Chains A and B, each alone.
Chain A
Amino acid sequence: MELVVNQTHYRLQLDPNSLLLWVLRDELELTGSKYGCGEGHCGACTVLIDGAPVRSCITPVSKVAGKDITTIEGLAQNGRLHPLQEAFIQADAMQCGYCTPGMILSGVGLLKKTPHPSEPEIRRALEGNVCRCGTYPRIVAAMQMAEKAMNGGQHA
Chain B
Amino acid sequence: MLEFERYELSTGPAYRFDLERRDLFKLLGGGLLFVLFFDGEAIAQESGRTQGFRADARPAELAAWLHIAEDGTVTIYTGKVEVGQNARTALTQAVAEELHAPINSIKLVMGDTDLTPYDMGTFGSRTTPTMAPQLKKVGAAARETLIDLAAGKWKVDRKSISVVDGKVKNSATGEAIGFGELTHGQKLMKTVDGATVTPADKWTLAGTSVTKVNAREIVTGAHRYTTDIARPGMLFGRVLRPSAFNAKLESLDTKKASSIPGLVIVHDGDFVGVTAPDELTLSNAITALIPIWKSDAQPSSKDLFAYLKSHPAQSRGGGGRPSPEQGSLQKGLESSDHKLDSTYTVAYIAHTPLEPRAAVADWNNGKVTVWTGTQRPFGVRSELAEAFKIPEDRVRVIVPDTGSGYGGKHTGEVAIEAARLAQAAKKPVKVIWTREEEFTWAYFRPAGVIDIRSGATKDGLITAWEFHNYNSGPSGIETPYDIVNHKIEFHPTDSPLRQGSYRGLAATANHFARESHMDEIAAALSMDPLEFRLKNLKDERLRAVLQAASAKFGWGKIKPDATRGFGLACGVEKGGYVATCAEISISQPGSKVKIERVVTAFECGAIVNPEHLKNQVEGSVIQGIGGALFEAIEFENGHILNPHVGKYRLPRFSDVPVLETILLDRKNLPSAGAGETPIVGLAPAVGNAIYQAAGIRIRALPMVPNGVPNQVQSTAKA
Binding site for B on A (CB under 8 A): 15, 17-19, 22, 25-26, 29-39, 41-42, 44, 71-73, 75-76, 81, 85-86, 88-90, 92, 94-101, 104, 122-124, 126-127, 129-140
Contact = CB atoms under 8 A, between A and B. Distances in A.
21 contacts: A22-B279, A31-B230, A34-B227, A34-B354, A35-B227, A36-B356, A41-B645, A89-B219, A95-B86, A96-B401, A97-B218, A98-B403, A100-B218, A132-B404, A132-B623, A134-B618, A134-B622, A134-B623, A136-B653, A137-B656, A139-B653
A39 B438 CA distance: 14
B344 interface: no
SS class, residues of chain B in contact with chain A:
loop
A137 B212 contact: no
Interface string B535-574: 0000000000000000000000000000000000000000
Contacts of A130: 354, 645, 650, 652
Contacts of A35: 227, 356, 432
A94 B354 CA distance: 13
Nearest to A132: B354
Which 4 pairs between the two chains have the least Cβ-Cβ distance?
A: A32-B221, A96-B84, A134-B622, A98-B403
B651 A134 contact: yes
B404 A127 contact: no
Specify the main secondary structure of chain A where it touches its partner.
loop
Contacts of B616: 95
A96 B646 CA distance: 22
A26 to B, nearest CB: 6
B220 A32 contact: yes
Contacts of B650: 42, 130, 132
B652 A127 contact: yes
A127 B654 contact: yes
A92 B236 CA distance: 34
A124 B656 CA distance: 12
Contacts of B406: 132
Contacts of B612: 92
Interface string B374-409: 000000000000000000000000000111101000
A133 B612 CA distance: 12
Given A32-B221, A88-B219, A94-B215, A132 B352 contact: yes
B221 A73 contact: yes
B367 interface: no
Contacts of B611: 92
A44 B678 CA distance: 26
Query: Which among B83, B218, B223 has the highest number of chain A CB atoms within 10 Å?
Result: B218
Nearest to B404: A96
B52 to A, nearest CB: 35
B278 interface: yes
Given A76-B220, A98-B225, A138 B404 contact: no
A94 B212 contact: yes
Given A32-B220, A85-B220, A98 B404 contact: yes
Given A85-B220, A97-B218, A130-B645, A135 B652 contact: no
Given A92-B212, A130-B354, A136-B653, A26 B278 contact: yes
B645 A37 contact: yes
B218 A94 contact: yes
A25 B353 CA distance: 20
Contacts of B223: 97
A76 B217 CA distance: 12
- Listed residue (B618, B622, B645) with the most chain A CB atoms within 10 angstroms of its CB: B645
B659 interface: yes
